[in-house]
Amino acid sequence: MACAAERRTARRAAQHLRGQRRGNRLLKDRPVPTRPQEMMTGYIDNCVEKLTKIPYPLVPHDPDSFLRTQSRLKLVKKYLHRDLALRLGGQSKREIRRIEKGMRVLWLYTGKANFGDAIMEMSGRALLPGADFSVDLLTLPKLHPLFCEDDIFENVYSHVDALEDRRYDAVVLNEFNYPSIELKKRHFRKTPFACLFQYFHGPSRNQTLFSFAAVNDVFGIGLRDEALVQIAKPYLQCNDATRRAVSGKRPERTAMALSVGGIDQNRSYLHWPSLLAMLDAMDDDRVPRQVVLLGSDNGLQMADEIMRKTFRRLEVVSHVARLSLLEAREIIAGCRLFVGCDGGLMHVAHSTETPSVTIFSHREPMRFFLTRRCHSVGLQSPGGASEVPPDAIADAVLRQLGVTASLSADAVQAR
């Protein structure tokens, strides 16, 4: 018996030893990260983070959704192209962390030729008055009419050849994009520069809050995050000439401005006549009785459809395709309420003190476009903007106007 037990024990020991040897071979065959591999992984992570992470906690952004659809190696390539353009152009050593008080500064905005993006991404300049900076703007020709009446930029240029005096203490770039880098290298090679958004590229973010946070940081304004959240909003101004140009077109102070049309069907609303029919059927005196239609050429068809309607209580006036954006801003500033979809006119409206009701398609989460000081009731559609029912917009209008009564029977029938 003892011999049999000893033999079983010996067999088990031999099996255990063979198992250990097999496990050791498996471990030996498994690739072990080497120091160069770890360094490469860390470098890739660092590049991706610079492109997708915003260093200011107050700014909502969504790098995770963006990274799920992007190749990390392509992002690294994008980062390297910009970084090498700076280094090979001798610009890396020219970068400064902060714009100092008393500096004469040229702000370069050569990014998106899009009115809404430009308004949001330069809105942080609202922090500069009284901060002892002299700032000029060099921007794209398309954007020049939007900022040429600004009360913060001392001069606004659309061509570098128009600059009367290029002796700036520093240049400010909105971001590291190729046009800005090339312009900086070619015309302001030896001038120190700071960059607001650095390499950030891609993820959805609240551009207005990003601009306020970056300007507060780079210009050393020194406000806390809580203060920035309270005051951040799109910023635009116009001069007395523009105010005089629309003096004869000013609506009643109780009027509602309505933005019609849109370049993107997904962000355009098709049921404005139904909304106006509901408002027309309401017998509450607090509901606006004058509606001013605003928009560009792409809103003419909708404006014509509305103007052909007959309303009992509403007076509808159309300025569609007849005003500049700054003139439209003055009209909106004189209204009691603005209603419209996400787009250029919405951002223009949010640069005024007029409250708004704004509609967003499912592709544009409203947290990336609205701030507290926009004073806006946002409506998020499950699909395109036109999927928001007119009665939901009517309810939001009543809420903004402080009318707590529900829709009347006539208004419900007008749906």
pLDDT tens for each residue of 56-69 = 999 999 999 999 99
What is the C-alpha separation between 45 and 201, in angstroms, rounded?
A: 15
Report yes or no: 351 and 325 within 8 Å, Cβ to Cβ: no
Token pair for residue 397?
């209008």
Domain ranges of the chain: 92-231, 251-413
- The conformation of residue 204, written as its DSSP 8-state character, comes to -
Q: Is the pLDDT of residue 14 over 50?
A: no
Q: Which residue has the higher pLDDT, 257 or 11?
A: 257
CA distances, 170 to each of 31, 104, 114, 192, 359 (Å)? 51, 7, 26, 5, 40
> Do 92-231 and 251-413 share a fold?
yes
Domain 251-413 is of which CATH architecture?
Answer: 3-Layer(aba) Sandwich (3.40)
Please report, in angstroms and rounded to a whole number, the separation of the first and last CA atoms in the chain.
96
Whether residue 21 has pLDDT greater than 60: no
**327, 281 in Cβ contact below 8 A?**
no
Examine the pLDDT at 84 and tell me if it is beyond 60: yes
pLDDT tens, residue by residue, 362-383: 999 999 999 999 999 999 999 9
Please check whether the domain covering 92-231 is classified as CATH 3.40.50.2000.
yes
